[in-house]
Amino acid sequence: MRSVVNGFVVAIIVAIMVACGNTGRTVVVEDIESRVWSEPRDFFYDNSDTLALRDISIVVRYEGSRVADSVAMDILTISPDSLVYEEPFTLHIPRLADMRPDEHTFIYRRNVLLARPGRYLFRLTPHAPAEGIASMGIVVGGNAQTDN
């Protein structure tokens, strides 16, 4: 009887660990060798879950002394069925003296439903060359209201 109870407890713990550990997040980051972001950067996300709500964020690692207070860009999204959406977005770079390395995640969209299965393209294009950007990327997944 005791081994049955122990097995049941272990099964529950494993189920909880699997449920809590799977955040469903995808992070894609690219280094910018010259530390000047001037060209479009493409990031791909392969979607298989067409029912989950997700947050989409931009992550940037930068040199605080060299980067501007804000970096304007366009974000182009192309869905698997070739729908295209583009809009301007501005990164407002925080100045925190004790933050090393200088890295920040900027919320782009909350509670997004990617309704089509397949590959999504996110293209980030700066309006002007942005000095001090060491790397950047995109985070898709997780939901601030459901993540614990």
Other CB atoms closer than 10 Å to residue 14's CB: what's the count?
A: 10
52-79 average pLDDT score: 90
Lowest mean pLDDT: which of 30-34, 36-40, 120-124?
30-34
Q: What is the pLDDT of residue 99?
A: 55
How far is 131 from 47, CA to CA, in rounded Å?
Answer: 33
Report the share of the chain in percent with pLDDT over 70: 75
Contacts of 119 (CB under 8 A, 6+ apart): 44, 45, 46, 47, 80
Task: Report the Cα–Cα distance between both ends of the chain, in Å, rounded.
Answer: 35
Per-residue pLDDT for 147 more than 50? no
How far is 45 from 143, CA to CA, in rounded Å?
Answer: 16
How far is 83 from 98, CA to CA, in rounded Å?
Answer: 42
Other CB atoms closer than 10 Å to residue 130's CB: what's the count?
A: 24
Confidence grade of residue 100 (pLDDT, cut at 50, 70, 90): low
Per-residue pLDDT for 48 more than 60? yes
Report the share of the chain in percent with pLDDT over 90: 52
Question: Please, are residues 103 and 121 in contact by the beta-carbon 8 Å criterion?
Answer: no
Contacts of 85 (CB under 8 A, 6+ apart): 76, 77
Q: Is 16 left (phi over 0), alpha (psi -120 to 50) or beta?
A: alpha
Place of tokens 């799977």: 22
Q: What is the pLDDT of residue 97?
A: 57
34-40 average pLDDT score: 90
